[in-house]
Amino acid sequence: MSLLVVGLSHRSAPVSVLERASLSVDAQVKLVQDTVAAEPAAEAAVLATCNRIELYADVDKFHAGVSELSTLLAQHSGVGLEELTPYLYVHYEDRAVHHLFSVACGLDSMVVGEGQILGQIKDSLARAQELHTAGRLLNDLFQQALRVGKRAHSETGIDRAGQSLVTFGLEQLAAGGAVTDWARGKKALVIGAGSMSSLAAATLARAGVAEIVIANRTQERAERLAQILTEGDDTAVRARAVAMSAVPDELTRADIAVSCTGATGLVLTAETIAAAVEGRTGAPAAEVADDRTGAEARRTAAKPAGKAEARETPLPPTTVGAEDGCPLDLAAVEPGFSLLGESAVAGIDAATLEQHGTWVDGGTSLLERRRKPGGGTVDRREHAERAVEADAELIGALAATVATAGRIPELRKPEPVAVAPRPEPVLFVLDLAMPRDVDAAVHRLAGARLVDIESLAEASADAPMAADVDQVRRIVADEVADFAAAQRAAHITPTVVALRTMAADVVAGEIARLEGRLPGLDDKHRAEITQTVRRVVDKLLHAPTVRVKQLAAEPGGAGYADALRTLFDLDPETVASVSQADDDSQKNGRNRGPA
């Protein structure tokens, strides 16, 4: 059996796809159950967060496993397999172990170094254990991942490389300023009372907000969170709970709104936010240009309109008059004019213009580049004879234009369009839900600033990496090697156990035969003989079994178990029964507690 992971994350898929593919808790349970019911998989676990969905399984066939796991992900996410497949990634055996360890350390997180993923991995393992879908492999893997993640945070400064998604989101809302200075004295509305919402509320409380209002579908959970915030020793914040129906009214009084619920539809529409802004300012919230600065937005804004859009080659520089080989003296040309237009060709004759075109084109005359109708290139003399009249007309037209207008018009790049400054927001909105809680149209509302998972992904792409990341990568590499060695050694354990069981049966049989031959043997001598025989067998088996475990732990050591079974003629069913008993003990909860 081998470890396989199939998934998608913010690194492989756009937020819109992650949003549609997100899984509820019930869907995760059904996915795990259906996976172990499928033929290639013996164990399964799902790791689902706001920016990743990954299915881990112990499979006996790689290609069949990839096909089955991909199909199951598509079925339970509701996104068609053909649409989902381009965004899926696959990791197998050691690469799958390396991937999970990297995830546990925060190296694969949207905010590098964030520690929330450890709690999510722990929850994933606990759910698989409750469903009895985690056997020896996944129990060992996930528990080791938790230990690796804790080691990375304790032995390195990876925490300095990033922070929680909540803190990162608040930093984006503060637009580069200190969160404590930005948040001090503000009123906050937190929608939801789950782990992410609770973290957001606690972070805002420590940042110095004056009041926090908690809205949740379950009133009791909202009240419990409000009580925790009020009674906290490290904060001095007023907190109260309200029903979800009170959210529109609370928005008109809030400076900050954070939403992270499990709702499948929008919790805050653009109309609701616009009404809240109008309630605070007394004027309707106008729609303005989207102020996001992602790569796609920049590319879209930079595209010229009309015919200019097709012109991707930049205009030649205006300083080429000083370059060697230029036939024209352009030193006096007014800055801003291109080499191919305006005063660059004013007043010159056809011969000089031809020479000029030859130099610009790197030594090949533009007139020489025409092709014969039947193929091949027209030589210079032949072409000159054929094109004199046409070229004369062209030069004549250029000269007439110069005589009339004083210059030849050219197509310039469009001047930048002046954009009216966006008014300072009166409502800051942080959407940490997946799928989104807040309508993306809020980005275009004046008076509101929205930061959501999509804009966080764009911002984190440019975030600097800490030097400690390299150290964490080395830790991950070492831990992957150790885990692989331990798994290879564990693979041979059932064979060693079966060998020692066979030896014990041989000893018992020989002692029974001795008692038949020597019925008068007293208990003292019988015990001594039995102990002696057992010591002899143990000494004979000790060195081979210890050495075979060492060899099996090395790369390529999988064949030693087969060799041991062949040499001692061990019953394969006995070995299999030992292995199955070990897996059953794992599934029945003997090793339930994550480290």
Residues making up the annotated binding site are 49-52, 109, 114-116, 120, 192-197
In eight-state DSSP terms, residue 45 is E
Contact present, 532 and 524 (Cβ < 8 Å): no
Query: Phi and psi dihedrals of 259, rounded to 5?
Result: -130, 130
50 tagged catalytic: yes
User: Tokens 């930061």 appear where?
Assistant: 451
171: Cβ–Cβ under 8 A, 6 or more apart, which residues?
A: 163, 179
Residue set of the binding site for substrate: 49-52, 109, 114-116, 120
CB burial string 368-398: b at 16+ within 10 A, e below? eeeeeeeeeebeeeebeeeeeeebeeebeeb
Residue set of the binding site for NADP(+): 192-197
Name 377's bridge partners: 371
Closest by CA to 77, choosing from 10, 32, 24, 6, is 24
Half-sphere exposure of 223 (CA within 13 A, CB side): 4
CA geometry: angle 310, 333, 323, nearest 5 deg: 80
d(C-alpha 283, C-alpha 277), whole Å: 8
Write a three-state SS string for 57-75.
EEECCHHHHHHHHHHHHHH
* Annotated active-site residue in 50, 105, 260, 326: 50
d(C-alpha 356, C-alpha 339), whole Å: 10
Residue 588 burial (C-beta neighbours within 10 Å; 0-12, 13-18, 19+)? exposed
Active site residues: 50
